[in-house]
Amino acid sequence: MKLLVFDVDGTLIGADLLWKKSTVDSLNSCLLKGDAIAIASGRPALMIKAFLDKLIPGKKFVIAANGAGVYDLDLHPLSIVGVTFEDYVHFYHDHQNVVDLGADIYCYTLDKVGYLKYGSFIDFETGLNDIGSIDLLAHPLNPNDPLLKFMIAWDHPDWSKVNLSDEEKKRYHIIRSDPRFLEFVNPKVDKATGVEALRLHLGLKKRDVYCFGDEGNDLKMVQDYQGVAMGNAIPEVKKAAKFVTLSVGEDGVSYAIKHFVKD
């Protein structure tokens, strides 16, 4: 058995947000052979499950919030490594200046998008991922309650107003998943740590784990396993990969499964 792990945006789907039938067919062929499929994304678990539900039955797993949560297909947690509500509140108040300039700072609870001030990116997250939201000012959590991550979302070309302290840079693993998003997770968390938790759960050797990605938050899992960089990947991911495939628009996933993944 092999484990194949896929990023979503720029890997499984392109700008049109649609799966190619050929990509779905390729993943289904792997499931039919008894391989395990996981999707590793910054997205919440429910949205990742929705992608996996498009595939035939088989061994399917969810790696959510850039590795903070690892689940089986019924969303029973196999591993949760989060930050806390108190972390989020302190960070929000310490960076109120960018909120005043139009940025949104929100978080992922275990099942919702949480916020202290509602903004357009909360609409974006809930609509894109088909999940609910919670006003954490009106309904605060306990200080030590776990969050999968929190993030700054800002559609602005100049992020120089976001001044992170040395303490914050040590306290969190900071991920630039998109020019609009800066994500903050537990310093022990990365997509690669989620992959490793799943690898150990399945009892596989590292040589039997294949990871596909294109952006900075995919870098370590591409580097640490049998890494596949999409043709549209950033240069750092291509350099770390063991195989560079075609672009997402050319169904690079299917090409790599055919030409790189060993039977």
CATH, domain range 3-80+189-259: 3.40.50.1000
pLDDT in tens, 130-153: 788 999 999 999 999 989 999 999
Domain ranges of the chain: 3-80+189-259, 83-185
Q: DSSP 3-state assignment of 207?
A: helix
Residues of the chain below pLDDT 50: none
pTM of the model: 0.81
166-204 per-position pLDDT tens digit: 999 999 989 887 889 999 989 998 999 999 999 999 999
Residue 4, phi then psi, degrees to nearest 5: -110, 125
CATH of the domain spanning 83-185: 3.30.1240.10
Cβ neighbours of residue 204 closer than 8 Å, sequence gap 6 or more: 1, 2, 3
- Full 3-state SS string of 131-149: CCEEECCCCCCCCCCEECE
pLDDT of the residue at 104: 95
Q: Confirm if 238 and 218 have CB atoms less than 8 A apart.
A: no
Give the pLDDT confidence score for residue 101 in this predicted structure: 93
Q: Percent of the chain scored above 90 by pLDDT?
A: 78
**pLDDT, position 111:** 83
- CA 26 vs. chain centroid, Å, equals 21
Look at residue 79 in the predicted model and tell me its pLDDT: 92
Contacts of 25 (CB under 8 A, 6+ apart): 254
Q: Are 91 and 164 in contact (CB under 8 A)?
A: no
